[in-house]
Chains A and B, each alone.
Chain A
Amino acid sequence: MMKLRAIIVISIYAILVALASFWMAKQSYSWFPPEAAAEAKLLDDLFSLFTGLGTFIYLGVIGPFLYSLVFHRAGKYDLSDGPPIEGNTWLEIVWTAVPLVLVLTLSFVSYRTYEKMAVRGPMELVHLHMPQMMQPAYAEPFDSTPQQEIQKAVETAPIEQINVIAKQWAWIFHYPQQDITSTELHLPVDRRVRFTLRSEDVLHGFYIPAFRLKQDVVPNHEIDFELTPVKTGTYRLRDSMFSGTYFAANQADVVVQPFNEYQQWLADAATASPSPAFNQAAFEYSKANDREGATKDKVAVRGWETIPPAAPPVVNYAPKHEPDSPPA
């Protein structure tokens, strides 16, 4: 009788936990910025699966944990011991096997998602020859919508090549076909884009949260990196790898626009003559230099000495908006 009751209670709890996990999995989509790239959809689906399973495990463990804390307390004058149960082989095998199966499954699903994202271009830094891993995913049969979009984009248009130069502390985007430079990244929607990432000094991180993608930029390396924007709008590119004093200010806007507008922008930029762009790091550094007591050799900042920022980049196109009240 007791056993039947226990089975019913556990079943009801399992159903409730499953429902809560499903709800959390659905909720997880709202925790992210907009899905502005095909890769973002893939990642969000994977994250949702992890959230669902993670919630199930968490509640599955914490439920019995809290139950025993509430119902298995010692009585006021009870100094006796609990039952001396030391182990249960069957139970121990089950709770070793279940996590093993779970993590292997999650690894496999993650691997499939990574393969579909195919963020690495042909310059993959692979010394070990493993063709099936290096092959871009768009050469494989696809089943998901984003992947079809990537495939369609790849099949219908050439890959858009853009060179990215990172330095302390600015991002410069170079469009080699038109030989245009910009401090704002413009991308055509629904087309595969290939970046070649270079760093002039230290490690930087090329990170656009709305695309869910990130790649460290390593000095002395050219790193190819591919993605497909699928939603027009303005997003933020951030430096994700700590790069020194003005690290936090090393940001840029990413404008995803329809192909014709993108081409128009390229054409307009090609006619503009290069001029220095506003740069937050250079601006703050010069403000610090202007302070009383500053000399050429000693920079009077409120903190400690710093590597001077590179000169503001000279580019064909720079966004017009400058900060109204720049940070101190």
Chain B
Amino acid sequence: MTNISLEAPEVVRGQPYPGAPDNWKRFFTFSTDHKVIGIQYIVTSFFFFLIGGTFSMIMRGELITPDADLVDRTVYNALFTMHGSIMLFMWTFPVLVGLGNYLVPLMIGARDMAFPRLNAVSFWMIPVVGILMLSSFLVPGGPSQSGWWAYPPVSLQNPTGNLINGQVLWILAVAISGVSSIMGAVNFVTTIFRMRAPGMTWFRTPAFVWSVLAAQLIQLYGLPALTGGAVMLLLDLTIGTSFFAPERGGNPILYQHFFWFYSHPAVYVMILPVFGMYSEILPVHARKPLFGYRVIAASSILITIISGFVWVHHMFASATPGWMRMFFMVTTMLVAIPSGIKVFGWVATIWGGKIRFTTPMLFALGGISNWVFAGITGIFLGSVPIDIHVNNTYFVVGHFHYVLYGAIVMGIYAGIYHWFPKMTGRMYYEGLGKLHFALTYLGTALTFVPMHPLGLMGMPRRVASYDLEFAYWNVIASIGGFLLGLSTLPFILNMVSSWIRGEKVGNNPWRAYGLEWLTSSPPTVENFEELPIVVSGPYGYGRNQPLVGNTPNPELTEFPESLTQQQTS
């Protein structure tokens, strides 16, 4: 007779099954722990960041001379299409969802996301999207060559005649990515509304959580338009419907409305969480409360609302009626107001502070300075007459890369460095971090500033070859591009080696306020031993007031000696 245990196996919430691995192998499972999923998102997206970056360096190699001589024109077109698609759908969105996934439940004092299994499903769709995107290199005819906009009729042209082609795979990938993001948005919005710790009123909620909420609300109203447009494009391409095909009476401009209704606000989906991270990082490393916290929090929601009325500014030259040009010019420029509120708030936060140039602080400060520049050129683009000259030129490419690389990627780096000790329990190497920052900041300026004069001179974007007059600035931009590629090496080295053998630091090495710093590093499966009861706002620097009522104040004396020496020497 065999012994049958009558005790139920111990099931830990967050584990898909009893005895799920508690080491690095858990990152390869269908885990429902938001922290595991967060890191899964971040690492996966970084893999694709390197692929997308490699494509961009081949493109900059092509553009270092005026002729189309390094790669064939079709290859070049595929490269810029896949560069844009991968960087948006496989890098920026997923990495920010990953950071949000990791941080939001910790910051609001929740044990997990509202729908842990949905969360895991959302993540596991991302590798599927990536495989679809990359597998298009293997089908006859190669990947999509119509740009990440996939504007018809170019995207409806199918030289191979095959049913399975790069464009079809691209559309499927984007549609799946859209479904994944909608599921993620439902999860985030529900979590933030319903799972905040007792006492965490809206104006005790950290600015990062506000910004994630604002971003995910955009996903909810915007993504159905993009996904719907993608499905209509797929039908036009495969079964011959005529939504957008002009030879069958369709209207290609209609696609542009579907596409930009989401894809301009998508910029705010990406930048809002980064604004949130700046708002978290500056107070910690300047030892001051976030200046104008309530207004900064509310301005995130204001951006969500205004961003629903900006999409036509991408179509000023697309036979758009005059009245529409004027209306969208004003609404586009209005985004400057909530953005300006944030920037002024950050400047006031560091003003008179006790600033330490740690790596996350350097990335945050660098990112903010880049954002100021990018925001101003954004106002230029809102103006109809200026936009008529510079849209579809390198001025636009320079502008949005200053937003995407200068502000967003640098903000992501700032966030990863800042919360690295929380995620791993170990400290990264400051020297490598600072080297990484220096290379990134210089590389960003060298690559993307020259694109502005190129655009003013009239160099169109997406060209594989160009006139001789554009050569000078292109050479500088290419050198900058290679430098940016190089800049990722110290980061990878730092992350891998620090995670394995970095200095072990306590729960709160930055002496930061915020619920996430109250728990252990890395946090336990259920985040908190006892759910916190919040009794004050999130940025109590200089005020010596408790953050929560039922656990001790955040440890404010713990500060690694080695770090002090590095930062102040």
Complex-state Cα separation, A209 to B453, whole angstroms = 12
In residues 120-155 of chain A, which contact B (Cβ within 8 Å)?
120, 124-128, 130, 133-134
Contact A68 B350 (CB under 8 A): yes
**B334 close to A (CB within 8 Å):** yes
In residues 293-307 of chain A, which contact B (Cβ within 8 Å)?
301-307
Contact B317 A248 (CB under 8 A): no
Complex-state Cα separation, A104 to B391, whole angstroms = 21
**B531 close to A (CB within 8 Å):** no
Complex-state Cα separation, A64 to B384, whole angstroms = 32
Contact A69 B365 (CB under 8 A): yes
Complex-state Cα separation, A73 to B293, whole angstroms = 22
Q: Chain A 165-197, CB within 8 Å of chain B: the 1/0 string? A: 000000000000000000000000000000000
Considering residues B293, B372, B385, B462, which has the most beta carbons from chain A within 10 angstroms of its beta carbon?
A: B385
Q: Chain B 316-336, CB within 8 Å of chain A: the 1/0 string? A: 011111110110011001101
Contact B317 A205 (CB under 8 A): yes
List residues of chain B with CB within 8 A of the CB of A249.
465
**B270 close to A (CB within 8 Å):** no
**A107 close to B (CB within 8 Å):** yes
**A26 close to B (CB within 8 Å):** no
- CB of B286 to closest CB in A, whole Å: 6
Q: Chain B 125-162, CB within 8 Å of chain A: the 1/0 string? A: 00000000000000011100111010101100101100
List residues of chain B with CB within 8 A of the CB of A111.
326, 329, 384
List residues of chain A with CB within 8 A of the CB of B264.
none
Contact B292 A92 (CB under 8 A): yes
Contact pick for B385, options A46, A62, A92, A301, CB 8 Å: A46
**B184 close to A (CB within 8 Å):** no
List residues of chain B with CB within 8 A of the CB of A9.
none
Contact B465 A327 (CB under 8 A): yes
Contact A304 B388 (CB under 8 A): no
Complex-state Cα separation, A113 to B379, whole angstroms = 16
Closest to B157 in A: A307
Contact A31 B392 (CB under 8 A): no
**A260 close to B (CB within 8 Å):** no
**A233 close to B (CB within 8 Å):** no
Complex-state Cα separation, A269 to B151, whole angstroms = 37
In residues 465-493 of chain B, which contact A (Cβ within 8 Å)?
465-467
Contact B456 A31 (CB under 8 A): yes
List residues of chain B with CB within 8 A of the CB of A91.
344, 348
Q: Chain A 41-70, CB within 8 Å of chain B: the 1/0 string? A: 011001100100010011001101100110
Contact pick for A86, options B149, B291, B337, CB 8 Å: B291
List residues of chain A with CB within 8 A of the CB of B325.
114
Contact A304 B353 (CB under 8 A): no
- CB of B500 to closest CB in A, whole Å: 30
Contact pick for B355, options A43, A50, A72, A215, CB 8 Å: A72
Q: Choose, from B28-36, B66-74, B190-198, B210-218, the stretch at the interface.
A: B66-74
**B47 close to A (CB within 8 Å):** no
**A213 close to B (CB within 8 Å):** yes
Q: List 9 A-B contacts (CB under 8 A).
A: A62-B372, A65-B368, A72-B350, A72-B352, A84-B289, A126-B322, A133-B322, A219-B252, A301-B72
Q: With A103-B330, A205-B317, A212-B388 given, name 12 new contacts (CB 8 A).
A: A62-B369, A81-B288, A86-B289, A103-B379, A106-B383, A202-B154, A203-B252, A218-B246, A236-B458, A244-B157, A245-B145, A303-B71
